[in-house]
């Protein structure tokens, strides 16, 4: 079996929104360092991406928007298109750095399409909020949508996209809202309580694609068992019915309890379980083809490095046991850079991820979301929303 493709180059750190912006590239650096110290990357060639061309970016972005991004560092103000805001500040090399992120996910897609890898992972990707004509939510160009669009032209007719970021995967949903070839599924904190305010269960796609957009809005405070209960109540049935040729997953880790920007209460153990489940689903429903990208995640030291090390390890079939101690070399490095930071000691939060399957007769706080989502989309797939066997 072909080894998984791991995309990484320190040039990706140039996607830096500057100052004390929460989207700090140090999270990627700390992840790669932790994975390396744990031996997860031993003998793994790190594939170096090139920037995506304008032709590729135009798959999902308007010409006028590309021009605005390129000119923004010179224009200074009033560039519109969501640029120059607190969320999406203008930075030097904005176009080039953003195009490189897209190129990194495109490289991952290409490796799978060309049969050189069944799985590929790019922790620098996952900029799922970028829209056709505007930047949003720290995202300039939408690498997920560009890669999916490219894959549709390179041998794939049915792609499932699963988004586990705490925020709704609105940009990817919008890009394929009328395209029945792409099933988008997003689990996120309820839009009443979190930006971008979309991702209701009633958003199901349009025309021929009605049912191809799936949203599971979860109540604030949802922990691992509730998240997993909702995930298992909705996702496997749809994947089995849709029969994707490839699973694309956005693996944002801002769903963690300690994340400063949102209010779900998952743990690093929950993230580890999610990745193992996504791997299993890729094997069972998508011929083993799995493209995983990063996404949000703003607890830079205690959460992102551990969770995405688990992601890299899972993709590489080098699973790291939860009780594995954090290597001293990594701790020393972080202590030197951030003496005040509270450091994690193991690869676990000690959380219990056991969940009860939906349909057990109990009434769990997430069951409203489960019921609403199943009723909104299951009939469109020939499934019975009220039958736990479906
Ligand atoms: Zn997010």
pLDDT for position 33: 98
Distance from Cα 286 to the centre of ligand 1, integer Å = 25
Distance from Cα 33 to the centre of ligand 1, integer Å = 23
Distance from Cα 127 to the centre of ligand 1, integer Å = 9
pLDDT for position 112: 98
pLDDT band at 77 (very low <50, low <70, confident <90, very high): low
DSSP character at residue 366 = T
Using DSSP, state whether 89 is helix, strand or coil.
Answer: coil
Output the six-digit token pair for 269.
């153990």
pTM here is 0.98
**Of 263, 191, 183, 253, the residue nearest 223 (C-alpha):** 263
Distance from Cα 341 to the centre of ligand 1, integer Å = 23
pLDDT for position 79: 85
Distance from Cα 318 to the centre of ligand 1, integer Å = 26
Model pLDDT for residues 261-314, shown as the tens digit of each residue: 999 999 999 999 999 999 999 999 999 999 999 999 999 999 999 999 999 999
Distance set, CA 206 to CA 98, 176, 211, 338, 345 (Å): 30, 10, 8, 49, 48
Average pLDDT, the chain: 97
Distance from Cα 86 to the centre of ligand 1, integer Å = 16
Using DSSP, state whether 231 is helix, strand or coil.
Answer: helix
Q: Which domains does the chain have, with CATH numbers?
A: 5-381 (3.40.800.20)
Helix axes 26-37, 328-337, angle to 10 degrees: 160
- Torsion angle, alpha carbons of 167, 169, 171, 174, to 10: -130
Report the alpha-carbon distance of residue 122 to residue 292 in Å, rounded. 6
- Torsion angle, alpha carbons of 71, 73, 77, 80, to 10: 50
pLDDT for position 103: 98
pLDDT band at 19 (very low <50, low <70, confident <90, very high): confident
For the chain, percent of residues with pLDDT exceeding 70:
99
Distance from Cα 296 to the centre of ligand 1, integer Å = 4
The C-alpha R_g of the chain, in whole angstroms, comes to: 20
**pLDDT tops 70 at residue 76:** no
Distance from Cα 139 to the centre of ligand 1, integer Å = 10
**Of 137, 140, 169, 123, the residue nearest 306 (C-alpha):** 123
Find tokens 């954090």 and name the residue. Answer: 326
Distance set, CA 23 to CA 147, 179, 219, 295, 300 (Å): 22, 31, 24, 10, 9
Residues with CB under 5 A from ligand 1 (ion): 165, 167, 252, 254, 296
Distance from Cα 7 to the centre of ligand 1, integer Å = 21
pLDDT mean over 230-243: 98
The answer to whether 168 is a known catalytic residue is yes
Distance set, CA 151 to CA 117, 120, 147, 280, 311 (Å): 14, 13, 6, 22, 22
Report the alpha-carbon distance of residue 174 to residue 199 in Å, rounded. 11
pLDDT mean over 116-122: 98
Distance from Cα 262 to the centre of ligand 1, integer Å = 8
Q: Are 188 and 216 in contact (CB under 8 A)?
A: yes
The catalytically annotated residue of 129, 168, 256, 310 is 168
**pLDDT tops 90 at residue 362:** no
**pLDDT tops 80 at residue 255:** yes
Report the alpha-carbon distance of residue 304 to residue 348 in Å, rounded. 12
Distance set, CA 307 to CA 56, 119, 183, 185, 360 (Å): 30, 18, 25, 21, 30
Q: How many residues does the chain have?
A: 390
Model pLDDT for residues 142-175, shown as the tens digit of each residue: 999 999 999 999 999 999 999 999 999 999 999 9
pLDDT for position 2: 82
Higher pLDDT among residues 76 and 11, named by residue: 11
pLDDT for position 360: 86
């Amino acid at each position: 079996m072909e080894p998984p493709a791991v995309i990484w180059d320190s040039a990706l750190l140039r996607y830096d929104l500057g100052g004390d912006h929460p989207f700090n590239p140090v999270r990627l650096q700390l992840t790669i360092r932790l994975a390396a110290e744990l031996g997860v990357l031993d003998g793994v060639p790190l594939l170096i991406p090139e920037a995506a061309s304008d032709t590729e970016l135009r798959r999902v972005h308007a010409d006028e928007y590309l021009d605005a991004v390129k000119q923004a560092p010179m224009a200074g103000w009033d560039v519109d298109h969501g640029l120059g805001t607190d969320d999406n500040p203008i930075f030097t090399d904005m176009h080039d750095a953003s195009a490189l992120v897209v190129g990194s996910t495109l490289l991952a897609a290409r490796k799978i399409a060309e049969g050189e890898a069944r799985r590929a992972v790019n922790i620098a990707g996952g900029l799922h909020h970028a829209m056709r004509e505007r930047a949003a939510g720290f995202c300039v160009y939408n690498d997920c949508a560009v890669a999916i669009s490219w894959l549709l032209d390179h041998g794939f007719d049915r792609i499932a996209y699963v988004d586990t970021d705490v925020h709704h995967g609105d940009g990817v949903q919008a890009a394929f809202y009328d395209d029945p070839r792409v099933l988008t599924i997003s689990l996120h904190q309820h839009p009443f309580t979190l930006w971008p305010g979309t991702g209701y269960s009633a958003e199901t796609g349009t025309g021929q694609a009605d049912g191809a957009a799936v949203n599971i809005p979860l109540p604030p405070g949802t922990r691992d068992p509730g998240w997993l209960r909702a995930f298992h109540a909705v996702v496997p049935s749809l994947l089995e019915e849709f029969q994707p040729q490839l699973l694309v997953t956005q693996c944002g880790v801002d769903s963690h309890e300690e994340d400063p920007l949102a209010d779900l209460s998952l743990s690093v153990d929950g993230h580890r379980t999610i990745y193992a489940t996504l791997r299993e689903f890729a094997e069972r429903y998508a011929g083993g083809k799995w493209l995983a990208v990063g996404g949000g995640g703003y607890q830079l030291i205690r959460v992102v490095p551990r969770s995405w090390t688990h992601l890299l390890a899972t993709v590489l079939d080098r699973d790291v046991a939860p009780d594995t101690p954090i290597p001293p070399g990594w701790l020393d490095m972080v202590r030197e850079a951030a003496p005040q930071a509270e450091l994690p000691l193991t690869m676990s939060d000690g959380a219990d991820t056991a969940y009860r399957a939906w349909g057990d007769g109990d009434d769990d706080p997430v069951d409203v979301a489960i019921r609403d989502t199943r009723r909104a989309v299951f009939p469109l797939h020939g499934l019975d929303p009220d039958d736990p066997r479906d």
